[in-house]
Amino acid sequence: MTEGSYFHLVNPLQKITQANKAKLQDKCQHINEGNSSQGKQSFLKEIYTDLYMTEGGKSPLTFLTMGIFGIGKHVSVQRFILDWADGKANQDINVIIYLKFRELNQKKGSCSLLQLIQHYAPELKEADLQEIKVLFILDGLEVCQYPLDFHNNDYCSDINENVPVDVLLTNLIKGNLLSSALLWITTRPSTASRIPPECVHRVTEIQGFNDHQKETYFRKKISDQKLANEIITHIKSCRSLYIMCHMPIFCWMSATVLENMMSNGNSDQIPRTLTEMFTRFLLIQISIKHKKFNGADVDNPDKLSEVDKTLILKLGELAFQQLEKGNLIFQEEDLIKSGLDVGKVTEYSVCTEMFREELGLYREKVYSFVHVSYQEYLAAIYAHFACVNDGKNVLDINGSTDLSDVHQSALNKALKSENGHLDLFLRFLFGLSVDPNRTLLQDLLTKDSSSKPCVDKNMTVHFIQEEIKQEQSSERIINLFQCLNELNDNTLVKEIQTAMKSGTLLGSELEPEQWSALAYVLLKSGEQLDEFDMKKFHTSTANQLRLLPVIVASALQSVNSPLRELDLSNNKLDKSAVNVLLTGLTDPHCQLEIISLAGCNFPSAFCSNLVSAIQSVNSHLGRLDLSYNKISDTGMNKLCDGLISPYCRLQKLKLKRCGLTKTSCVYLVTVLKSNSHLRELELKSNDLQDSGVKQLSIGLQDPQCKLEILGLSGCMITEVGCRSLASALTSNTGHLRELDLSYNHPGDSGVKLLCAKKDDPSCKLETLQYVLILYLYFKCCSFKNVGILCKGMK
């Protein structure tokens, strides 16, 4: 539909919506897949393969989508917008405001929310934003350079008030600005914690392509189906590459590289590491450039031209400097500081595959790498050749300039990074120091450096293995093994594989790094084990926790998994272990019905992630024990969001000693009043007091409440609270059969009130537990059928 055709529409809102759809449709219908040239763009509909996303239920007010680099977060956003613009989904939304953090970083000074909205969507100038349904998409939280100080930023609720962008963003996310709006934030897992849990109503995770989707992508991307099948076979033959193909960006690059190599009879040189795939891709683009401009006949030129060498190293310098600053968008002055000629960069065909020019927030020219992985790869090239050619340690200006020491500096720096932004850079840096990458890029060496001895790979391997011994984070450990893979060193992995095949592993006392290697082998092997008995190994609890990713992947995420109950009580799980576990719980294949995480150091911040599991469409979870964890009222608020979901099947919830107060009871009332499946609720040893019980009693009287068993032992309840409960028990709609009030202070009148319910025909209570204050009341309190169970009587 053209803009001119809007004028016949009578409904002004429809006019605004159609204008917004047309603009976003034009913006999102193409996908670059690394090509910035307009002539090379593909239609998203033609190339898109559904990504594997764990989610469930209806759209919440605010939700956050996580996913690692290259997994398809941005493409998923594009597809969502395109389906909306095409009228296929989410037609209750009137307007979408698409904001990228990388562009918002350029915004200086103050502005109002209304000004920001109208900058991105001028068609909304005449709209009353309070009267329409608006969705804000905040894409790429991991690159946000604002502090997002949710605790100290000023309050703002006026969309016309000029405030700093950081204040604007925090108030928008907290719901103070345009409170009726929907909000969708995308991020890498490492930066998800920047958003307070109480601001997020649902967390989803994109896990990329599954095995079937990988093959579908290659067959869509490569028109020659015979060649596509050959490429799929080759990819499957290299387990590490096949695993990496769950990332759409890697699938695209693999298709580009392998189609070129196999079409030219180079099947014996297929890349087997991430670094080699990027290196081959770079050389193929240089080859295409030589053919186009120089008439060259070779597909992989033996020698890089001086222009090639200069531009690659200077692009690498730019990439490294901006990576250290956390910048993904650069100004012209940034290019000039790195010695780059802006005109040559944008014209050079190799750059158009990795680097692009676009219009920024204020319609000025800005520059970026097509994908952050290209920036990290070129940054690694700069760091490597700065050491080899110029004797510089760019990771530590005071450190040694030996390449092994540069590797150690990079390793130390990457492990200190809270958000893991150097993990991929680290893999590339290690991979560049060994063949075939070293040989493929030898033209980047100067004459003097070409005669220098190679890096002592064994020293770098030693550094990594020492870190594996000390590291507790499952995600970090896996990345360290991937670093070893880039160095073509699989000694630890092969050692474990040999021991597994020979049977000598059983009964062995494994070292920490061997446990990590065992986890890595089991996780990446793709093979199914009939049985894995951890009792046959002599080890500590800390080492057993290194296998948690394996347990989750095999037991929770495998097709036709038989596991129905999992007890992890009293294990001190770290955040990475909890994250892995929750990812497994949201997997569509997970059949788990009962899980206990009592005393597991389960953090309140992860309750948002847990909600994704319990309200998933595919969830089978019926019993959950979170006792003896610091859930707090904040976490309880999140859990209640999940409990009221129509997809939540939870029937039994235990929350003993979880730091809950009367505030949690306010949240629980919404659950009790909803058409919830919850039948048993244990709140023992929480400081609920009478005011909290009063709230619970309101929920118990609601016709929708189906709760049958309620535990309130040791909750600081007096006769005032008993009066509220007695009133609730009289309700004709009540289903409560068992009530535990032991270790409270009901007083004489409280006990009398509850005992009097034994003759009330509307009271369904069969079992009451409490500490008897007077023997007199014990004698008179006999309930029908079951009678009173007395605790604590002396």
| Residue-wise pLDDT tens digits, 679-694 | 999 999 999 999 999 9
* 3-state helix vs strand vs coil in the chain, percent to 5: 50, 10, 40
- Residue 777: its pLDDT value, please? 43
Contact 425, 403 (CB under 8 A): no
Q: For 238, phi and psi rounded to 5 degrees?
A: -115, 100
Interior CA angle at 103 toward 101 and 107, to 5°? Answer: 100
Picking from 207, 240, 193, 192, the residue whose alpha carbon sits closest to that of residue 478 is: 240
Residue 475: which H helix or E strand, with range?
A: helix 474-486
Q: Quick count: other Cβ atoms within 10 Å of Cβ 151?
A: 6
pLDDT of residue 711: 94
What does DSSP say about strands 652-654 and 623-625: parallel, antiparallel, or unpaired?
parallel
H or E stretch at 248: helix 248-263
Report CA-CA distances (Å) from 75 to 30, 67, 78, 541, 646.
Answer: 10, 12, 5, 41, 29
Query: Which regions of the chain are under pLDDT 70?
Result: 1-11, 26-60, 126, 292-302, 346-364, 419, 449-454, 472-475, 495-561, 576, 588, 617, 732-733, 758, 769-794
Per-residue model confidence (pLDDT) at position 52: 42
Task: Give the Cα-Cα-Cα angle 371, 372, 376 (nearest 5 degrees).
Answer: 125
Q: What is the pLDDT of residue 772?
A: 41
Identify the pLDDT of residue 450. 58
In the structure encoding, which two tokens stand for residue 757, read together?
């319910």
Distance, C-alpha 701 to centroid of its chain: 40
Alpha-carbon distance of 399 to 217, in angstroms, equals 45
Residue 565 pairs with which residues in a beta bridge?
Answer: 594
* HSE-up of residue 279 (Cα within 13 Å, Cβ side): 28
50's tokens = 């559904």
How many other C-beta atoms lie within 10 A of the C-beta of residue 405? Answer: 18
pLDDT for 286 equals 81
Q: For residue 202, what pLDDT is reported?
A: 75
**Residue 332, Cβ density class (10 Å: 0-12 exposed, 13-18 middle, ≥19 buried):** middle
Cα separation, 526 vs 510, in Å, equals 23
Q: What is the pLDDT of residues 95-105, one digit of tens each?
A: 888 998 888 88
Look up residue 180 and give its two tokens.
Answer: 């009726």
* pLDDT tens digits, one per residue of 145-154: 899 999 999 9
